[in-house]
A and B are shown apart, each in its own frame.
Chain A
C-alpha cells in the first residue's frame, strides 16, 4: 500500500517533466508539502529524450541531475511514478484527487543491476526512442540511463508468461514482486499545478509531406533520438531507408504549426530546435555536410538571434524562404522537396538524404475533459483564469514554450499554488 499523507495544505503537481519537477521543487523547498504524480515509470519527461539543449548545446542530463539531487535532499516532496490522476473535484483549498497507481512489479530493493533485463526475452517498442527505426527494449527495462527512480520496470504484458518468472529468478535482491496490484488512492490537496506538457503533432496528418510513406522523412523529435549516442543508431546520422550517412539534410519549419489546417499556434521551439539540429549535422560531417532550412520566417527571438546569426554564417547551410508544398521520393530513396521560394519566386525540386519535419507541439491533456471545469484556450492550453481557482498550469500545459520559459512558468505556478495553501493555512489574509 502506498502511504501518502496529504492535507488541504498540500500542493499536487501533475506531471514530472522539467516543468513539474521545477514547480514541485520550488514549492517544496519553501517548506510546503508537495506530491508529484508522474504517469511514466520515470520523471524527466520529454527533456530526457533530447540530445542537447539550445542555445548552450549542453546536455539535459546535467540539469536533470541537479533536480534529482534537490529532490533527494528534500523531505517535503513525495514523488509517485506510474501514477495517473483519474478524477478531480472540489475547489481552491479543498480538492479531492483520485490517483491510479499502476504496478511496477519491482520494489525498492532494486539496484538497477540489469539481470532481469538480461533474463527476459520478450521485446517491445521503445517509447523513450519514440519507437523510431524499430527501436526495441526488453520486457524488463530501465526506461533510460538517467531514469529516476533508478529502478527497473516489468512490462505488464509479460506478467503471467514464463518471462516474468525468469525475471524474478534472475533477481538477486528479491526486488521483483509479481504480486503487485493496481491500486487507487485518494488525496486531499489545496492547490493543483498541471505540468502535463506536450506531445508532438501527428506528422501523418500533414499528408503532402509523406511522413507515412517516405522512409527518409522523419520528425524533429526522432532526429533528436538519432543524434543521441544512446539512441537507436548510436548517435550516427543515417538515412532510415538504407542506413547510409545522411549528409544532405533538410529541415522544414512550421510542420503542423501556424497552419489553420493543423495547429493554429506557433509552437515556438521549432525554429531554435532546427537551428540546434543543424549543429548535429555539422558535428557529424563538418564541411561535407549540406544543410537546408525551409522556413516562413525564423522566430529566433531576443538572445537567440546570435545563435541564428552563427548558423546563418556557415557556408554549408542554406536558408530557403518557402513553405515546402510537397515531398516525393525519387528512385534513390531521396526525399525531394518541391515548392516555390519567396525570394525570387523560383520553382525548386531539391533532393535530400533526410528531411526533418520541425514538428509542432500540442498539449498532451485535453483540459476540457478533466472532470472539473477549467478554462482552456482555443489551442487547448490551460488559461490563467480566476475561474480555475486553485488550479494552475506550468510549462507547456500553459502555452507552447521552450525549456527555459517552461521553468520560469513552473516557478510562477509554484508561487501561485503556495499563495492558495497559505490562505488555507491562515498565514495569509
Chain B
C-alpha cells in the first residue's frame, strides 16, 4: 500500500465514485452509464474480462474500491473503440478503462502478474532511457519477462525469424550495446522530469 493510496482512502472515505471523478481521466462520465450493456457485448475480448466495463461502472458506483482498482479487467482493453462507437450515451469507455488502469498503477494497486501492465512498464523503462524504443532490448526483455528458462525457450523458438531480420537489415545486433538515442538526451530527460512534476502537483491539489 502506497502513501498516496492511504491518503486517497482518507480523503474520499467511502465515496469511490467521487474519487474516480476527481482522479481518473474521463472519470466524471462514469455516472452517465445507464447499464444497457452494449459495451460489454461489443467487446471482442469480453470473454477474457473478469468484470466487463458495464460491471466496472456499477462497481464504482457501489463503492467497491479494492475490487475495481486491483482488477485485471481494465488492463485487458485493446483500444478497439467498439464500445465508444456503440455506447448510446457516448461515454468514452476506452479512455475510462485506461484512466482506471493508470490510476490503479499510480496507487500501487494494479495486479502484479498482469502481462499488459508488465509490458507497459518494460516499454516505458526502455523508452524513457534514451528517448527511442530499442526494439532488440524490448523484445528480449519480453522473452525473459516470465523467467530465465522461458526466455531461453522463446529465444530459441524465434531464432530463425531474428536471423532473417538481421539478414534483411531489419534488426541491428549492435543495438544490444546501448543503441541509438534522441539527439538531445538531457533535454529529453528534463522534459520527462518537468512532466512528472506537473502531474505530481496535480495529484497534490
Contact = CB atoms under 8 A, between A and B. Distances in A.
Interface in B57-99: 85-86, 88-90
A324 interface: yes
Contacts of A260: 88-90
A300 interface: no
A323 interface: yes
B77 to A, nearest CB: 15
Contact of A340 (B46, B85, B86, B90): B46
A326 interface: yes
B42 A326 contact: yes
B55 interface: yes
Interface in A158-215: 208
A259 B88 contact: yes
Contacts of B47: 347
A261 B35 CA distance: 17
A342 B42 contact: no
A149 interface: no
A325 interface: yes
Given A339-B38, A340-B37, A340-B46, A325 B86 contact: yes
Interface residues of A, number: 21
Contacts, number: 63
B52 A325 contact: no
Contacts of B42: 208, 325-326
Contact of B34 (A208, A296, A325, A345): A296
A139 B27 CA distance: 60
A341 interface: yes
B41 A345 contact: no
Contact of A345 (B51, B86, B88, B89): B51
A258 interface: yes
B41 A340 contact: yes
A256 to B, nearest CB: 10
B165 interface: no
Contact of B41 (A259, A296, A322): A322
Q: Which of B52, B85, B86, B89 has the most CB of A within 10 A?
A: B86
Interface in B30-50: 34-38, 40-42, 46-47
A342 B86 CA distance: 17
Contacts of B85: 261
A25 B35 CA distance: 45
Contacts of B15: none
A404 B134 CA distance: 70
B88 A341 contact: no
Contact of A296 (B36, B46, B55): B36
Interface in A319-362: 321-326, 338-342, 345, 347
A261 B55 CA distance: 22
Nearest to B91: A260
Contacts of A142: none
Interface residue tally of chain B, by bracket? 10 to 19
Given A340-B52, A345-B54, A325 B88 contact: no
B23 to A, nearest CB: 25
Given A339-B38, A342-B35, A345-B55, A323 B46 contact: no
Interface string B149-184: 000000000000000000000000000000000000
Q: Which of B37, B51, B90 has the most CB of A within 10 A?
A: B37
A254 B86 CA distance: 13
Contacts of B86: 208, 261, 325
A322 B55 contact: no
A60 B20 CA distance: 52
A254 B88 contact: yes
A326 B43 CA distance: 11
B97 to A, nearest CB: 15
A325 B51 CA distance: 17
A7 B6 CA distance: 79
Nearest to B58: A342
A323 B36 contact: yes
A53 B55 CA distance: 38
Contacts of B89: 260
A52 B84 CA distance: 38
A207 B94 CA distance: 21
B38 A323 contact: yes
B184 to A, nearest CB: 45
Contacts of B36: 254, 296, 322-323, 342
Contacts of A342: 35-37, 54
Q: Which of B35, B86, B88 has the most CB of A within 10 A?
A: B88
A322 B90 contact: no
A258 B34 CA distance: 11
Given A323-B38, A325-B41, A347-B47, A340 B88 contact: no
Contacts of A325: 37-38, 40-42, 86
A345 B40 contact: yes
Interface string B114-156: 0000000000000000000000000000000000000000000
Q: Which of B38, B55, B90 has the most CB of A within 10 A?
A: B38
B40 to A, nearest CB: 4
Contacts of B90: 260-261
B133 to A, nearest CB: 35
Nearest to A260: B90
7 contacts: A260-B88, A260-B90, A325-B86, A339-B38, A345-B37, A345-B55, A347-B46
Given A208-B42, A296-B35, A322-B37, 10 more contacts: A321-B35, A322-B36, A325-B86, A326-B41, A340-B46, A340-B52, A342-B35, A342-B37, A342-B54, A345-B51
